[in-house]
Structure 1
Amino acid sequence: MMGVQRAEAQLFYAFDLESHVPADHLLREIDRFLDMDGMRERLRPFYSHTGRPSIDPELIVRMLVIGYVMGIRSERRLCQDVHLNLAYRWFCRLDLDDKVPDHSTFSRYRHGKFRESELLRQVFEATVERCLKEDLVSGEGFAVDASLIPADANKTRSIAARDWNPDVAREAGNRAAREYLETLDDAAFGAASPVQPKFVAKSDPAAQWTRAEESRPYFAYATNYLIDTKSSVIMDVEATRAIRQAEVGASRTMIDRTEQRFGIRPEWLAADTAYGNAENLGWLVEERQITPFIPVIDKSERTDGTWSRSDFEWDPENDQYICPEGHALRQFRRNYSDPNRGKDITGRRKYRALKSDCDACPSKHLCCPKVDARSVTREEHEDAREVARACRTTKAYKLSRDKRKKVEMLFAHLKRILNLTRLRLRGPNGARDEFLLAATAQNLRKLAKLRPTFGQMEVTA
């Protein structure tokens, strides 16, 4: 006999939301690690002591976490899914007859209390603390990298950089333009580089007109990750313009902030060539005592067949270079009464050989065939650069090169699983909020994967 489904009307229903959420559901695991302690105390100064009670800020945060963990990019759709999905309701502490907030609530909280109190950074740092408690962080080695995320800006509504100035931004009057004016002196944005891009987006002036490999130019921001290489836990995240100088500066900011917040300074740092300039290597080696597993940006090698600087031996005790024929190249041949005489303001030092030595040298055609005497420059922070070159010959460097790929895997996860292929929010603050929530979601998913309760219960049984 063919059965027929009938929905019989009942006056009372006994429905247990808890029992309808599977024991191995991702949100059950994440709920164990999402720490909301202290959130209300942090937000209390931003609320009035009179008036109607507001929507619970914890509910807003939980809904945002669902959106980024499950890759739901639309806040309208997020509200619909929370309304319909029993697991989402359970995670948000909503009963069956509880009303889901309107999508406009997110904007009011984001541009107001959350941003003023830096609540989203607190939520992110709470996940890092939980990773520390779960022994997912070793603190021995970190890796850093950046990835471009397209901004919510259109080329057809941009203007040429020569026609752009702060007055135009003031006339625009939108929130992203105001944030752009506020960050002109910020090294991560306006002050990162004096070079102006070809185009500026009126809807989001802080977004950088850039071009990635094998792609058309577009407006983008850069998300910067600092990860611990043990379990790929994201220790810090920073939003910048898509400029190398800003990305390198962000790496220093994240290293210092991680040390101040968690008391962790890595023994070594792995990164690609973009972070191998002399200033950054000097900061790592001389100021922070961090071993750099980073390829050095070096343009001293010659391509015309003559000897390069690497063919000359450095003698630190006598402050001189020794050429392959054994002649000394010195910066000064006599002592000056003024110690500052002859110093280059850029920190670069020039070492010269004697003309008489070069004239009598049998290898002059391999050294300086077009000049009377050979000279070699020594860049600022050259000692740190030599440390980085020496590190590249070690076995640890080869291991760090493989571990550095974990950052790129996180970026792939960010774009393919979390679906963060384009920003929804505009301005520097909007980029920060999105990147913080995305990094929070990735750390929570990492905790749920590596420290599951459901799997432990099965093993125990």
Structure 2
Amino acid sequence: MQGKKQYQEKLFSNFQLSERVPEDNFYRRLNKVLDLDYLYTLTKGYYGSSGQKSIDPVVFFKLYLVGYLENIISDRKLITHCSMRLDILFFLGYDIDEELPWHSTISRTRQLFPETIFEEVFTKVFELCVSAGMVSGHTQAIDSAPVKANASMDSLELKVPEEELEAHLRKVRHISNRDKDKPFREAKTNKATKVQQTLSAHQKELQAISSRNNKWSKEQNGRPGAGNKGARYTSNKTHYSPTDPDARISVKPGKAVKINYLSQLTVDTNQHVITDIKAYHADGKDNQQLPDIVKRVKRRLWNAGLLWENCIADTGYSSGDNYAFLEKNQLKSFIPPHGTYKGGPEGFTHIQSGNY
């Protein structure tokens, strides 16, 4: 006989979340090994002694962990996603009839804690991975990726020198039609410091920018999006973002120009555990960041009692100074040289058997 399911909500029901989440579920297993209770002591100084209770700091960091694991960067989408998943609710310690924190609460709490708190949490989780035997420390792979900043290209403003603003603007009107008046989308508040608003490029750099702009103006009819009346040439030397002054204009081949940060990620090759991550200015190059990355990773591995021997990275990290730096730190570098590298000195012959 054919069955037909009829749904009718019950006024009362007997339901336990723990019975619905399988024992082998990822978040249930993670909940057993991840102890974040130390956060109560670590973050206590950032809360007052009276007023409405805040979001539980453990819940806050668990939400961020879920966001990373589920690849969700929007606070609003994260809360919606978590409310629909029984296993995540169980991981967070919420029942099905409990409201999750409001998405704006997540944003405000993120602004409450300094960078050191997030660094401490990362280190604690890293130590748990080391204790579980997931990190060997022997070989570390380094790579970078642009991370879009929470800022719009339309809100970019011109940097000004330390002379009168109007006098300077009269000189640079030719840079772009978009820069003649106010920004296309003016920021509500300008968060940039006086230094960040001040023009730092010297005269030679400005002349080079002007030349590129003239060339760009002549060729722009053949460029994608050239018909857009808002098309303009932008540079970190001449423009800044008032909403996110630390972000920088950058572009990858074949991609649109955006305001980004540059994320540098280091991974242990044993079980692909992240051993270090940090955001840098997007106008910097990978090889400029390598020494700082190595110092950070080496310190963290040393504190965990691990010895780092091999460093793997792509060509973007290659430079003579970096090779010398890695050798000085007793690290074997597996970084291919830049394409313009021509090999050893003239007449040099490599004896493979003796490696000399």
In the superposition, the TM-score normalised over structure 2's length comes to 0.69
Alignment of 1:420-431 (within 5 A): none
> In the alignment, does 2:262 pair up with 1:247?
no
* In structure 2, C-alpha distance between the alignment counterparts of 1:214 and 1:15, rounded to whole Å: 52
Q: For residue 223 of structure 1, what is the amino acid of its counterpart?
A: S
Is the contact made by 2:63 and 2:92 (CA closer than 8 Å) also made in structure 1? yes
* In structure 2, C-alpha distance between the alignment counterparts of 1:163 and 1:39, rounded to whole Å: 44
Structure of larger gyration radius: 1
Change (3 A) 1:45 1:94: same
* Cα offset, 1:274, TM superposition: 2.3
Percentage of pairs with the same residue: 26
Alignment of 1:31-430 (within 5 A): 31-112=31-112, 114-115=113-114, 118-160=116-158, 163=160, 174=189, 177=192, 196-197=236-237, 199-242=239-282, 243-244=284-285, 246-259=288-301, 261-286=303-328, 288-297=329-338, 301=342, 310-311=345-346
DSSP 3-state at the match of 1:68: helix
CA displacement 1:379-431 (0-9 Å, x = unmatched): xxxxxxxxxx99xx79xxxxxxxxxxxxxxxxxxxxxxxxxxxxxxxxxxxxx
Structural RMSD (CA): 3.6
DSSP 3-state at the match of 1:62: helix
CA displacement 1:243-295 (0-9 Å, x = unmatched): 21543244234334424542434112112222221222222112x11122223
Is the contact made by 1:159 and 1:200 (CA closer than 8 Å) also made in structure 2? yes
Change (3 A) 1:261 1:199: farther
Change (3 A) 1:3 1:294: closer
Change (3 A) 1:292 1:75: same
CA displacement 1:121-144 (0-9 Å, x = unmatched): 222222222221222221211121
Is the contact made by 1:208 and 1:219 (CA closer than 8 Å) also made in structure 2? yes
* In structure 1, C-alpha distance between the alignment counterparts of 2:46 and 2:243, rounded to whole Å: 29
- Consecutive unaligned residues of structure 2, counting only runs of 5 or more, are 166-185, 197-234
Change (3 A) 1:205 1:85: same
* Cα offset, 1:18, TM superposition: 0.6
Aligned to 2:170: none
* In structure 1, C-alpha distance between the alignment counterparts of 2:150 and 2:45, rounded to whole Å: 33
Is the contact made by 2:236 and 2:248 (CA closer than 8 Å) also made in structure 1? no
Change (3 A) 1:78 1:141: closer
Change (3 A) 1:249 1:62: same
* In structure 1, C-alpha distance between the alignment counterparts of 2:250 and 2:52, rounded to whole Å: 47
Aligned to 1:406: none
DSSP 3-state at the match of 2:61: helix
CA displacement 1:19-46 (0-9 Å, x = unmatched): 1123343322332343303111111222
Kindly tell me the number of residue pairs found equivalent between the two proteins: 292
* In structure 1, C-alpha distance between the alignment counterparts of 2:152 and 2:66, rounded to whole Å: 28
Aligned to 1:332: none
DSSP 3-state at the match of 2:263: strand
* In structure 2, C-alpha distance between the alignment counterparts of 1:204 and 1:264, rounded to whole Å: 38
Is the contact made by 1:137 and 1:230 (CA closer than 8 Å) also made in structure 2? yes
* Cα offset, 1:4, TM superposition: 5.8
* In structure 2, C-alpha distance between the alignment counterparts of 1:15 and 1:207, rounded to whole Å: 48
CA displacement 1:366-391 (0-9 Å, x = unmatched): xxxxxxxxxxxxxxxxxxxxxxx99x
DSSP 3-state at the match of 2:249: strand
* Cα offset, 1:238, TM superposition: 0.9
Is the contact made by 1:210 and 1:219 (CA closer than 8 Å) also made in structure 2? yes
* In structure 2, C-alpha distance between the alignment counterparts of 1:275 and 1:8, rounded to whole Å: 60
